[in-house]
Amino acid sequence: MAPPRKSLRARGSALASAREQVRLLDAPGVVPRFEAALGGAGLQPLAATGITVFQINVGRLCNQTCRHCHVDAGPDRPESMTRATAEACMAALARTAIPTVDITGGAPELNPNFRWLVEEARRLGRHVMDRCNLSVLLLPAQKDLGVFLASHRVEVVASLPSFAAAPTDAQRGEGVFARSIEALRLLNGLGYGHDGSGLVLTLVTNPVGAFLPPAQAAQEALFRDRLRRDHGVGFHRLHTITNMPISRFLEFLLESGNYETYMRRLVDAFNPGAAAGVMCRYTLSVGWDGRLYDCDFNQMLDLPLDHGAPAHVGDFDPARLDRRRIVTGNHCYGCTAGAGSSCGGATAR
């Protein structure tokens, strides 16, 4: 199945509605309630343990329309963080000691305020991560992006589902693998991925289909060997993540007849160790419009913070956020299956 050319929204799909997705995910009889699994692990109600990652989703505009995208990002998406909201984000961050700013999208680099956010977060002394699709580095309007990222010592967290072209292109679009390798060579040329350079290059891989990711350490070794051998590119580390049953991956599951089997796979692989380390416990997610969420997945399902937590970054209050109760749902099985999954890779220790 080739990646769609347009987002769910552009195609008028019923799945473009977050409410419809939640209705499907919470339909009785497919899987037991996630909260029951948490209860069995002694983690219900799930609560934050203190924020160490301030994740900003600057919008849903992207130059790709990947098959598995939980954001439903694409070239047609108009949602874009304004300068005023970006300033509110930095004002909130400045009131804290949160060490890491994680900028995501869509393709976050396409937002007109992306570079200002990077500069400002670095001025505040925070570690900055750019969730990069790699091909964006090759766009004519972004030809200086690599130098910009390197000059601000931004960690590039780049998506690459496979060290082979066929599965990568099947998920991310024809020709994306070749462009990804070209972008990785460009980054290596700037110093990214080299030992001791201080320019951290992290790869993120997710399964190209309805199955769980492999063991992270083993996959990292395999990627390192194959990318060096076949393409002469290097990186520092690799994270494995699980595909979440949201948006376009949910569409794939339904169209391919894999939905129930995949959900049962996630449930059967529920790992209490992974659940204890889920990223929502230490991450705060800010939407393009400034609304606050426990994670990017809740953001896409339109499940904002609850239980007395502030709704908008303009009302940021660490006292009401650091130990907040987290909003969960059946999609959360994706983060607790097997070795666990997060924006930082496997979570089970």
Partner 1 sequence: MDTYYHPQDLGHFADMGQGNKDLWEKFMTYYGAVFAEGALTAREKALIALGVAHAVQCPYCIDAYTQACLEKGSNVGEMTEAVHVACAIRGGASLVHGVQMRNVAKKISM
User: Any idea what DSSP says for residue 213?
Assistant: -
219 binds partner 1 (CB under 8 A): yes
User: Which residue from 59, 105, 193, 207 is in contact with partner 1, where contact means CB under 8 A?
Assistant: 207
Which residues have a Cβ under 8 Å from the Cβ of 151 and sit 6 or more positions away?
none
The smaller minimum CB distance to partner 1, of residues 14 and 218, is found at 218
Residue of 73, 116, 72, 126 lying closest to 96 (CA atoms): 126
Judged by CB under 8 A, how many residues of this single chain contact partner 1? 15
Q: How far is the CB of 117 from partner 1 (least distance, A)?
A: 34
Q: Which is nearer to partner 1, 113 or 162 (CB)?
A: 162
Question: Any contact of residue 211 with partner 1 (CB under 8 A)?
Answer: yes
CB 51 within 8 A of CB 294: no
Q: By CB under 8 A, is residue 139 in contact with partner 1?
A: no
DSSP state for residue 308 in the 8-state scheme: T
Minimum distance between the CB of residue 266 and partner 1, rounded to whole angstroms? 13
Please select the residue that binds partner 1; options are 111, 162, 336, 341, rule is CB under 8 A: 162
Question: In Å, how far are 49, 151, 230, 260, 266 from 344, measured between CA atoms?
Answer: 16, 23, 26, 27, 19
Task: Confirm or reject binding of residue 214 to partner 1 (CB under 8 A).
Answer: yes
Task: Choose the binding region for partner 1 from 63-71, 177-185, 218-226, 341-349 (rule: CB under 8 A).
Answer: 218-226
The residue from 43, 71, 208, 241 that contacts partner 1 (CB under 8 A) is: 208
Contact between residue 219 and residue 205 where contact means Cβ atoms under 8 Å apart: yes
Q: Is 217 in the site for partner 1 (CB under 8 A)?
A: no
Q: Cβ distance 48 to 279 under 8 Å? A: no
Q: Which is nearer to partner 1, 101 or 274 (CB)?
A: 274
Minimum Å gap between C-beta 176 and partner 1 is: 16
70 Cβ contact partners less than 8 Å away, ≥ 6 residues apart: 243, 244, 246, 247, 248, 249, 296, 297, 300
Binding mask 165-194 for partner 1 (x = CB under 8 A): -xx---------------------------
61 close to 111: Cβ distance less than 8 angstroms: yes
Rounded to a whole number of angstroms, the minimum distance from the CB of residue 177 to partner 1 is 12
- Should residue 218 be labelled a site residue for partner 1 when binding is judged by CB under 8 A? yes
**Reduced to 3 states, what is the DSSP secondary structure of residue 45?**
coil
Q: How far apart are CB 1 and partner 1 at their closest, in Å?
A: 14
Site for partner 1 contains 75 (CB under 8 A): no
Q: In what order do the strands lie in the sheet with 237-240?
A: 237-240, 201-205, 155-159, 127-132, 100-104, 53-57, 283-286, 292-293
The reply to whether 258 sits near partner 1 by the rule CB under 8 A is no
- Bridge partners for 203 per DSSP: 158, 238
Binding footprint of partner 1 on the chain (CB under 8 A): 162, 164, 166-167, 207-209, 211-215, 218-219, 222
